[in-house]
Amino acid sequence: MRRKLLDVVPRIPHALEAHGVALQGAWASRAEHATSFLVDAPGAHQIEDAFIEMGFLRWNTITVRPVSLLEDLFASLPGS
């Protein structure tokens, strides 16, 4: 596992930039064997393509969860 991660880490900046994905933050949970990335991207396909290029999908599953800032959500509600 360590070797796989060390192989992927150097690819992250180029893969994200190549697909128009901006990294906002990243976290890891050793107990869960899970890594979370907060990114800004044009869409889910660009995120998937970046993670394929990095090599994460060779040994991981990714889940993309579109989110919005709360203030943007409140502003979009009827009557706002």
Output the pLDDT for position 62.
86
Output the pLDDT for position 3.
84
| Residue 8 predicted with pLDDT over 90 | no
Mean pLDDT, residues 1-30 taken together: 90
C-alpha to C-alpha distance for 15 and 48, rounded to whole angstroms: 11
Output the pLDDT for position 15.
96
DSSP state letter for 19:
T
Residues in a beta bridge with 28:
35
The residue ranges of every structural domain in the chain are 2-76
pLDDT digits (tens, 9 = 90+) for 26-75: 998 989 888 899 999 999 999 999 999 998 877 778 889 988 899 999 99
| Residue 24 predicted with pLDDT over 80 | yes
